Amino acid sequence: MELTQLEYFMTVARLEHMTMASKALGITQPALSHAIAKLENEIGAPLFERNGRNVKLNRNGAMFSRWVGKALQNIENGVKEIENGLIRIRGLLLYPISIFLALT
């Protein structure tokens, strides 16, 4: 299980449509279909209901998406916190002067 898979999963979950999700993600739809199938395989249970025309989260998928949403949010927060803590001067990432002084 990898983060790309999980982002694919969240996009399909939100749009409930493989083709549209694949376009939103910038990959082809077979690739997306395959990735979702692989994820379901790894989890050991299907996450969507297929009725031939569209896809929709089933009970497991709904539960899982809540946790995955939190996980992706946490990672995003972590990255943001680092980005906010640094300042960029002439292409170099440096600590703000205030923090630098506090550390020395």
Residue 79 binds to its own copies (criterion: CB under 8 A): yes
Considering the complex, what minimum distance in angstroms separates the CB of residue 98 from DNA?
A: 28
Choose, by CB under 8 A, the member of 31, 37, 63, 87 that binds its own copies. 63
- Which helix (H) or strand (E) segment holds residue 3: the answer is helix 3-15
Residue 3 binds to its own copies (criterion: CB under 8 A): yes
Residue 51 to residue 55: CA distance in whole angstroms: 7
Residue 73 tokens read as: 């949010």
Residue 68 tokens read as: 């995955």
**Closer to its own copies at the Cβ: 34 or 66?**
66
Residue 64 binds to its own copies (criterion: CB under 8 A): yes
Q: Is 89 exposed, middle or buried (0-12, 13-18, 19+ CB in 10 A)?
A: exposed
Coil, helix or strand at residue 18? helix
**Closer to DNA at the Cβ: 36 or 68?**
36
- Catalog residues that contact its own copies under the rule CB under 8 A: 1-4, 6, 43-45, 59-60, 63-64, 66-68, 70-72, 74-75, 77-79, 81-83, 85-86, 93, 95, 99
